[in-house]
């Protein structure tokens, strides 16, 4: 029971409507309302999950497992420069990662499930908020309203430029790195620029700190123990020629292939900053942001997706997995779900994710719907 041509036309229009009105992480109120209003006849609808999240339940009424299929609601704080007719109408915000397409795929799956429920168990379509800053999955899991929806299986996809359309990357084991943003603030005391020795400037500590962070997170080939430290922002002092600086803030993104690798790198980075601050007579404080757990594919869930891809005629291989990028879908495994994510090719020459000319390819909509529908039927009949 595939999508009809009319379905595909209507879903494409729906995706374009979402694309025109993007909302950033934590502010997806209108996006959530639009999706909730369009969902066809769910047996239960839970809104406000972890912020603006939505769960649409399609229940067989018979005992069986709960299968959760997840998409994301949020867009990015990036100005879209593409020329598509459905370009963003919100200045400085754009669906430049494809979450509008992922949510449209779930909407297509909802159409099929509304016409024929699974033979047993239930399907939970999870439209998750705030993926881009790493807070959404954790907020959903912490919401008491999620407990009755706790899945036995959790499946998701992400479109992936550079992989040909109609192909996919899929492998068991590590898929996405754990990562976090660490803000290091060094505080001393200002001085007149003609007498810098009378103050406590962070200037001597910063080069040593930058070099030390790079040395402890050098990147390189993916594999066990992979770690990467990337300086993303640096601010020191005031924009004035008469003041020797008394404070600096350094932002660094830390990555590790596993959660343990990331924890060890964070501890090492903080120890280095404390040592350099002490050597320079400075105080140091830390804050952690955008914390993503590692994402790994369960072997059984991976096998389900592999069979679904085969049935849909979508070729697949491990590609370049695992990848350096992060994804908060991995948190759902902590709820006990057998989880897996597949990267569905959006074109070998398609603009990359998070670039200003990216746009989700509409041709992927029926592929994604077929993939998830096959997986649901495999698990629930």
Q: Give 48-95 pLDDT, tens digit per residue.
A: 999 999 999 999 999 999 999 999 999 999 999 999 999 999 999 999
Q: What is the mean pLDDT of the chain?
A: 97
- pLDDT band at residue 106 using 50, 70 and 90 as cut-offs: very high
Give the model's pLDDT for residue 16: 98
Q: Which of 125, 1, 159 is nearest to 55 (CA)?
A: 125
Residue carrying structure tokens 């891809």: 309
Q: What is the pLDDT of residue 313?
A: 97
The stretch 131-150 carries a mean pLDDT of: 96
Q: Look at residues 155, 153, 145 and name the one whose alpha carbon lies nearest to residue 54.
A: 145
Tell whether the model's pLDDT for residue 168 goes beyond 90. Answer: yes
Contact 155, 70 (CB under 8 A): yes
Prediction pTM value: 0.92
pLDDT band at 136 (very low <50, low <70, confident <90, very high): very high
Superfamily (CATH H level) for 5-176+294-380: Zn peptidases (3.40.630.10)
Q: Please determine, for residue 1, whether its predicted confidence score (pLDDT) is greater than 90.
A: no
Per-residue pLDDT averaged across 205-231, rounded?
95
| Backbone Cα Rg of the chain | 23
Dist CA 106 CA 366 (whole Å): 10
Confidence category of residue 129, pLDDT binned at 50, 70, 90: very high
Provide, rounded to the nearest whole percent, the portion of the chain with pLDDT above 70: 100
- pLDDT tens-digit map of 357-372: 999 999 999 999 999 9
The whole-number average pLDDT for the span 32-38 is 98
Domain boundaries, the chain: 5-176+294-380, 178-292
CB 24 within 8 A of CB 75: yes
Query: How far is the first Cα of the chain from the last one, in angstroms, to the nearest whole number?
Result: 13
Q: Tell me the three-class secondary structure of the chain, residue by residue.
A: CCCCHHHHHHHHHHHHHHHHCCCECCCCHHHHHHHHHHCCCCCEEEEEECCCEEEEEEECCCCCCEEEEEEECCEECCCCCCCCCCCCCCCCCECCCCHHHHHHHHHHHHHHHHHCCCCCCEEEEEEECCCCCCCHHHHHHHCHHHHHHCCCEEEEEEEECCCCCCEEECCCEEEECEEEEEEEEEECECEECCCHHHCECCCCHHHHHHHHHHHHCECCCCCCCCEEEEEEEEEECCCCCCEECCEEEEEEEEEECCHHHHHHHHHHHHHHHHHHHHHCCCEEEEEEEEEECCEEECHHHHHHHHHHHHHHCCEEECCCCCECCCCHHHHHHHHCCEEEEEEEECCCCCCCCCCCCCCCCCCHHHHHHHHHHHHHHHHHC
Per-residue confidence at 197, pLDDT binned at 50, 70, 90?
very high
Identify the band that residue 334 occupies on the pLDDT scale cut at 50, 70 and 90: confident
Q: What is the CATH number of domain 178-292?
A: 3.30.70.360
Q: What is the pLDDT of residue 335?
A: 86
């Amino acid at each position: 029971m595939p999508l009809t041509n009319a379905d595909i036309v209507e879903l494409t229009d729906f995706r374009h409507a979402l694309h025109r009105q993007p909302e950033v992480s934590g502010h997806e109120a209108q996006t959530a309302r639009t999706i909730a209003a369009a969902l066809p006849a769910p047996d239960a609808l839970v809104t406000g999950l972890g912020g603006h999240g939505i769960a649409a339940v399609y229940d067989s009424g018979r005992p069986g497992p709960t299968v959760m299929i997840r998409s994301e609601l949020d867009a990015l704080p990036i100005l879209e420069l593409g020329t598509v007719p459905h370009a963003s109408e919100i200045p400085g915000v754009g669906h430049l990662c494809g979450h509008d397409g992922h949510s449209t795929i779930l909407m297509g799956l909802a159409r099929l499930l509304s016409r024929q429920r699974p033979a047993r168990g239930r399907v939970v379509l999870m439209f998750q908020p705030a993926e881009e800053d790493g807070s959404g999955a954790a907020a959903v899991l912490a919401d008491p309203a999620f407990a009755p929806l706790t899945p036995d299986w959790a499946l998701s996809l992400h479109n992936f430029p550079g992989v040909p359309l109609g192909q996919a990357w899929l492998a068991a084991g590590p898929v996405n790195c754990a990562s976090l943003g660490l803000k290091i603030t060094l505080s001393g005391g200002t001085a007149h620029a003609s007498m810098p020795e009378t103050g406590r400037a962070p200037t001597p500590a910063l080069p040593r700190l930058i070099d030390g962070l790079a040395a402890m997170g050098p990147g390189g080939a993916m594999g066990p123990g992979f770690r990467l430290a990337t300086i993303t922002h640096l601010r020191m002092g005031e924009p004035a020629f008469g003041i020797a600086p008394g404070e600096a803030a350094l932002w660094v993104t830390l990555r590790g292939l596993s959660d343990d690798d990331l924890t060890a790198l964070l501890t090492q980075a903080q120890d280095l900053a404390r040592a350099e601050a002490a050597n320079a007579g400075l105080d140091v404080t830390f804050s952690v942001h955008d914390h993503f757990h590692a994402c790994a594919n369960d072997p059984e869930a991976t096998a389900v997706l592999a069979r679904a891809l085969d049935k849909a005629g979508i070729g697949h291989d491990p590609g370049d997995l695992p990848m350096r990028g992060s994804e908060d879908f991995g948190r759902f495994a902590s709820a006990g779900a057998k989880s897996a994510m597949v990267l569905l090719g959006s074109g070998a020459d398609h603009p990359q994710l998070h670039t200003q000319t990216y746009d989700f390819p509409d041709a992927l909509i029926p592929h994604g719907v077929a993939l998830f529908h096959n997986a649901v039927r495999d698990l629930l009949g």
